[in-house]
Amino acid sequence: MNDTHMSTGGPGRAEAIASHRRFLDTIRADPDRSNRTEESYALALTHLLAVAPVPPEELNDDHITALREWLDHHVSRWTGKVLMATTVNSRISGLRSYLKWARRNDLLGHPGLKNRRDRRDMRRMRRERTLTSEEDVALMVGCHEVASTSDDPIEVRNHAFVLFLLTTGLRMGEALDLRWSDLDLEKGTVHVQWGKGGKERTALMDPRSAEVMGRLRGLGQMRPISPVDHIPGIEAWGNDTHRTFCDDDPVFCGSRPLEPMPQCNANFISKRVSKRHTGKEYTAHCFRHTFCTRFLRHGKTLQDLQTLMELAGHSSMLTTQGYLDLDESIRDERFSRVTEAHWATAPTPEADPVEQPEEAPSDGTETPDDDEPPSDIVVAVDRAPSILDWS
């Protein structure tokens, strides 16, 4: 990468910082934006400032390309590892929001600046991150079986987590923020207090998922057995080996006692469990895509779209409709249904009259009719089936 991209000086740096602060003030004033969103966008602008310390009117496509390349190879000072794909996507999302804000305020010198992925690429990426129908069934059945029968609390937690995401469609962060008081296992409801943008909603879970979650709560949290040297905060367990869940405790705990599972651990678990049952690795967010696609595969009316929009917490119907493009079988079935319904309205052509053969003169004796069935054969009557036919 060109060294000029990493320059930290220049007269435009102060203007860039002022522009970034104005944008963050706008985000902070938006009630639909959470604190996490503000922090993520601030980090995105920090990275942009490191690569392109120029005012927004001087930004161009080369700067954006340089930032993408830099993020792909940037080493986190916290982990000492290259940034995960989810982190890079989060930074790019913050950059897109900043560029849209700058465009609305006429701050960009290049109005055609490419600030978002091509829609076709987004559909392709989402399709690749969605389980097939066969993989979906195999993973759900496998997770339910292991979570219902395993004696290992860690295995129960891991498989319950994946099954929960598959059957509720929650975002990974929403699931990790849940407390046991947010779950009503009898009614099968999930109270999401802090969804995306700080929005509150109610999600649903099926009886099998509720059964597994009840077993998880009954088992509680177990101290990791081995290896434990690399686990930060393992000393917090002291001499304890087990913790019982209370209503205010996190639903999905990590290695530390009664503390939420980190997102990096959640994705690691998702990949390992999906690899075990499908042969492929899928991240936690793939299960949300799978839930939405499955829902629309079995329900295709406008009411189904509205229900999915409510359950998934989408802020726009356009986001929900995007899942109709992921499964080609949904498209093909809708096309066939609409086409056949249209053809059914066409008038049926009248059949040509059939000439009846002349009857032979009768000699007074009756001859059996070849078309008349024997008396011991029951003739099917064209009628609607009654309830007696189901016995």
Q: Are 223 and 152 in contact (CB under 8 A)?
A: no
| pLDDT tens by residue, 229-266 | 556 666 676 777 788 899 999 999 988 888 888 888 89
**Residue found by looking up tokens 């979906």 in the block:** 136
Reported pTM: 0.58
Two tokens, residue 388:
């007696």
What CATH number should be reported for the domain holding residue 219?
1.10.443.10
Give me the pLDDT at residue 6, please.
36
Question: In this structure, are 305 and 268 located in the same domain?
Answer: yes
Answer whether residue 378 shows pLDDT above 60. Answer: no
Question: In this structure, are 163 and 80 located in the same domain?
Answer: no
Two tokens, residue 207:
């009886």
Domains identified in the chain, total number: 2
Burial of 182 (0-12, 13-18, 19+ CB in 10 A): middle
CA–CA separation, 391 and 389 (whole Å): 6
Question: In this structure, are 231 and 277 located in the same domain?
Answer: yes
Question: In this structure, are 16 and 48 located in the same domain?
Answer: yes
Question: In this structure, are 176 and 232 located in the same domain?
Answer: yes
User: Which residues have a Cβ under 8 Å from the Cβ of 191 and sit 6 or more positions away?
Assistant: 182, 183, 184, 200, 202
Q: Check residues 124 and 62 and name the one with the higher pLDDT.
A: 62
| pLDDT tens by residue, 285-343 | 899 989 988 888 876 666 777 888 888 888 777 777 777 665 566 666 666 766 777 67
| pLDDT tens by residue, 72-111 | 777 776 666 777 777 777 888 888 888 888 888 888 777 6
Q: Which of 282, 312, 329 is the last residue of a domain?
A: 329
Q: Is residue 334 part of a domain?
A: no
Q: What does residue 266 show for φ and ψ, rounded to 5 degrees?
A: -65, -40
Domain that holds residue 246: 133-329
| pLDDT tens by residue, 154-182 | 999 999 999 999 999 999 999 999 999 99
CA–CA separation, 98 and 96 (whole Å): 5
| pLDDT tens by residue, 188-214 | 999 998 887 778 899 999 999 999 999
Question: In this structure, are 153 and 250 located in the same domain?
Answer: yes
Give me the pLDDT at residue 101, please.
87
